[in-house]
Amino acid sequence: MRTFVMYGIFGFLGLILLFVVMITDAVRTKNTIYLFLSVLMVFLFAVEDMFMIQDGVVFFAMFTSFYMFAFDFLKIKRKVVRVNE
């Protein structure tokens, strides 16, 4: 709610779109930890404005980028190992 008031309709829709992309990516890759983190972030953002404190920004950026890109990296690494065998 606070995000809607501070950043307007475009900021709020951007945040909602980000969560939708995170959840669909977690379901598509079947990564349960990433899905749990995404749902946890939705609940945390509903209760408290996580972007107002630096710890919330770092937590969100670090874990979101790690789970969003690490799963694809591990998949590519497995393919390279199988090709070399």
pLDDT score of 78 more than 70: no
Q: What is the pTM of this model?
A: 0.71
Enter the tokens of residue 30: 């079947």
Alpha-carbon distance of 68 to 62, in angstroms, equals 10
Q: How far is CA 49 from the centre of its chain?
A: 16
* Per-residue pLDDT reduced to its tens digit, 1-21: 676 777 788 888 888 999 999
> To which residue do tokens 């609940």 refer?
43
- Which residue range is the domain that position 33 belongs to? 2-84
**How many domains are there within the chain?**
1
* Per-residue pLDDT reduced to its tens digit, 19-29: 999 999 889 88
